[in-house]
Structure 1
Amino acid sequence: MSSSELTAVPDGEAPSASSETGTTSAARRERPAVGWALLGSELSVMFRRWRTWAMLAALAAIPLLIAVAVRITGGSSRGPAFLGDITSNGVFVAFTALVVCVPLFLPLTIGVVAGDTIAGEASHGTLRYLVIAPAGRLRLLAVKYVGSAVFSLAAALAVAVAGALIGMLLFPIGPVTLLSGVQVSLGEAYIRLLLISLYIVVSLLGLCAIGLFLSTLTDVPVGAMAATAVLAVVSQVLDQLPQLDALHPWLFSHYWLGFGDLLRDPISWDSFGSNALLQLGYIAVFGALAVGRFTTKDILS
Structure 2
Amino acid sequence: MTVITETARPVPVSRGYRFELVKLFAAWRVRLLVLACWIAPALFVAVVSEQSSLPVDTLFGRWMNATGWAGPLVMLGFAGTYALPLLTSVVAGDVFASEDRLGTWRHLLVAVRSTRRIFAAKALAGLSVLVVLVAGMAVSSAVGGVLAAGNRPLVGLDGHLLTSGDAAVRVLLAWVCVFAPTLALGAIGLLGSVVWGRSPMGLLLPAVVALVLALAQLLPLPVAVRLALPSYAFIAWNGLFTDPAQLGPLLIAVGVSLAWAVVASALAYLLFVRRDFTNPAHDGSGRRALTIGVLPLVALLAATAGIVAVATPATGSGIELDKVQRSVATAFAHLYRLQAGQLNRPDVTEEQLAATAACTKGDGLVEPDGPGNDWRCVVSWHLPGIDATGQAIYQLDITSDGRYVADGDGPKEVNGYFQVRTPAGDQPNPLWQFDGNVELLTTTKG
TM bucket normalised to smaller: 0.7 to 0.9
Tell me, what secondary structure is at the counterpart of 2:59?
A: coil
Q: CA contact under 8 A between 2:153 and 2:163: conserved in structure 1? A: yes
Cα drift, residue 129 of structure 1: 2.7
Which deviates the most, 211-220 or 127-136?
127-136
Which deviates the most, 36-45 or 179-188?
179-188
Task: Report Cα offsets for 1:204-249 as digits up to 9, x if no partner.
Answer: 1111111101101223263211122111101111222225766433
> 2: CA distance between counterparts of 1:284 and 1:195?
22
Structure with more contact order per residue of length (Cα contacts < 8 Å, sep ≥ 6) = 1
Q: Which residue of 1 is the match for residue 40 of structure 2?
A: 61
Q: CA contact under 8 A between 1:213 and 1:289: conserved in structure 2? A: yes
Task: Report Cα offsets for 1:163-221 as digits up to 9, x if no partner.
Answer: 11222232232233433445444344333222222111112111111110110122326
Tell me, what secondary structure is at the counterpart of 1:252?
A: coil
Which deviates the most, 244-253 or 98-107?
244-253
Normalising by structure 1, report the TM-score: 0.80
Q: Which residue of 2 is the match for residue 140 of structure 1?
A: 118
> 1: CA distance between counterparts of 2:174 and 2:199?
30
> 2: CA distance between counterparts of 1:189 and 1:272?
17
Q: In the TM superposition, what are the counterparts of 1:176-187 in structure 2 within 5 Å?
A: 176-187=154-165
> 2: CA distance between counterparts of 1:246 and 1:270?
12
Q: 1:236 and 1:297, CA in 2 relative to 1: closer, same or farther beyond 3 A?
A: same
Unaligned runs of 5+ in 1: 7-22
The structure with more strand, counted as a fraction of residues: 2
> 2: CA distance between counterparts of 1:267 and 1:66?
26
Q: Which residue of 1 is the match for residue 340 of structure 2?
A: none
> 1: CA distance between counterparts of 2:221 and 2:252?
22
> 2: CA distance between counterparts of 1:245 and 1:188?
29
Tell me, what secondary structure is at the counterpart of 2:26?
A: coil
> 1: CA distance between counterparts of 2:241 and 2:42?
19
Matched, 1:195 2:179: no
Task: Determine which of 282, 286, 301 is the counterpart of 2:260.
Answer: 282
Q: 1:108 and 1:178, CA in 2 relative to 1: closer, same or farther beyond 3 A?
A: same
> 1: CA distance between counterparts of 2:116 and 2:149?
49
Matched, 1:218 2:196: yes
Which deviates the most, 46-55 or 240-249?
240-249
Task: Determine which of 71, 83, 93 is the counterpart of 1:105.
Answer: 83
Q: Which residue of 2 is the match for residue 95 of structure 1?
A: 73
> 1: CA distance between counterparts of 2:48 and 2:154?
22
> 2: CA distance between counterparts of 1:117 and 1:206?
15
Unaligned runs of 5+ in 2: 281-446
Q: CA contact under 8 A between 1:145 and 1:208: conserved in structure 2? A: no
Q: CA contact under 8 A between 1:88 and 1:171: conserved in structure 2? A: yes
> 2: CA distance between counterparts of 1:40 and 1:185?
42
Residue type at the aligned position of 1:193 = V
The structure with more helix, counted as a fraction of residues: 1
CA RMSD of aligned residues (A): 2.9
Q: In the TM superposition, what are the counterparts of 1:118-267 in structure 2 within 5 Å?
A: 118-132=96-110, 134-220=112-198, 222-242=200-220, 247-267=225-245
Which structure has the larger Rg?
2
Aligned positions, number: 276
Normalising by structure 2, report the TM-score: 0.56
